[in-house]
Structure 1
Amino acid sequence: MKSIKVMIVDDSAVVRQVLSAVLSADTSIEVIGTAADPLFALSKMERNWPDVIVLDVEMPRMDGITFLKKLMAERPTPVVICSTLTEKGASTTMQALAAGAVSIVTKPQANLSKFLVNASDDLINAVKGAARANVRQLLKGKVAESPAAVAPKLSADAILAPAQGAMTRTTERIVAIGTSTGGTQALEYILTSLPRVCPGIIIVQHMPERFTAAFAERLNGLCQIEVLEARHGDRVMPGRALIAPGGRHMLLKRSGAQYVVEVVDGPPVSRHKPSVDVLFRSTARAAGANATGIIMTGMGDDGARGLREMHDVGALTFGQDEASCVVYGMPKEAMKLGAVSREIPLEQIPAYVLRSER
Structure 2
Amino acid sequence: MRKLLTEILSGDPGIEVLGAAQDPYVAREMIKTLNPDVITLDIEMPKMDGIEFLKKIMRLRPMPVVMISSLTQQGADATLHAMEIGAVDCVAKPTQDLQHGLSEKYLEVIEKVKMAATARVRSLDDRPGRAGQRLSSSPAFASTEAVIAIGASTGGVEALSSVLPVLPPDSPAIVVTQHMPASFTRSFANRLNGLCAISVVEASDGARILPGHAYIAPGDMHLRVAKSGANYICRIGGQERVSGHCPSVDVLFQSVAECVGKNAVGVILTGMGKDGAKGLLAMRNAGAYTLGQNEASCVVYGMPRIAEEMGAVMEQLPLRQIPRKVLDICIAQKGKSIRV
State the TM-score, normalized to the length of structure 2: 0.90
CA–CA distance in structure 2, aligned partners of residues 88 and 77 of structure 1? 25
Q: Any idea what SS the aligned residue of 1:235 has?
A: coil
CA–CA distance in structure 2, aligned partners of residues 36 and 349 of structure 1? 42
Partner of 2:213: 240
Partner of 1:267: 240
Conserved in 2, the CA contact under 8 Å of 1:141 and 1:186? no
CA–CA distance in structure 2, aligned partners of residues 37 and 269 of structure 1? 39
Q: Any idea what SS the aligned residue of 1:29 has?
A: coil
Conserved in 1, the CA contact under 8 Å of 2:58 and 2:123? no
Q: CA deviation at 1:118?
A: 2.6
Q: CA deviation at 1:116?
A: 4.8
Find out whether 1:38 has 2:17 as its counterpart: no
Report 1:201-350 matches (<5 A).
Answer: 201-350=174-323
CA–CA distance in structure 1, aligned partners of residues 115 and 179 of structure 2? 13
Question: Any idea what the Cα deviations from partners look like across 1:92-128, whole Å, max 9, x if unmatched?
Answer: 1122112111111111122233335531111111111
CA–CA distance in structure 2, aligned partners of residues 27 and 213 of structure 1? 37
Q: CA deviation at 1:137?
A: 7.8
Find out whether 1:55 has 2:48 as its counterpart: no
Q: CA deviation at 1:352?
A: 2.1
Partner of 1:140: 127
CA–CA distance in structure 2, aligned partners of residues 171 and 228 of structure 1? 21
Q: CA deviation at 1:229?
A: 0.9
Report the CA distance shift for 1:236/1:97 in structure 2 as closer, same or farther (over 3 A): same
Partner of 1:75: 61
CA–CA distance in structure 2, aligned partners of residues 26 and 331 of structure 1? 28
Q: What is the RMSD of the two structures over their aligned residues, measured on CA atoms?
A: 1.6
Conserved in 1, the CA contact under 8 Å of 2:220 and 2:239? no
CA–CA distance in structure 2, aligned partners of residues 173 and 337 of structure 1? 24
> Structure 1 stretches (4+) deviating beyond 3 angstroms?
none
CA–CA distance in structure 2, aligned partners of residues 230 and 125 of structure 1? 28
Partner of 1:122: 108
Identical-residue share of aligned pairs (%): 51
Conserved in 2, the CA contact under 8 Å of 1:137 and 1:324? no
Partner of 1:87: 73
State the TM-score, normalized to the length of structure 1: 0.86
Report the CA distance shift for 1:93/1:142 in structure 2 as closer, same or farther (over 3 A): closer
Aligned residues: 318
Report the CA distance shift for 1:306/1:142 in structure 2 as closer, same or farther (over 3 A): farther
CA–CA distance in structure 2, aligned partners of residues 58 and 18 of structure 1? 16
Report 1:94-113 matches (<5 A).
Answer: 94-113=80-99
CA–CA distance in structure 2, aligned partners of residues 180 and 141 of structure 1? 18
State the AA in 2 paired with 1:140. Answer: R
CA–CA distance in structure 2, aligned partners of residues 95 and 199 of structure 1? 27
Q: CA deviation at 1:60?
A: 1.4
Report the CA distance shift for 1:61/1:43 in structure 2 as closer, same or farther (over 3 A): same
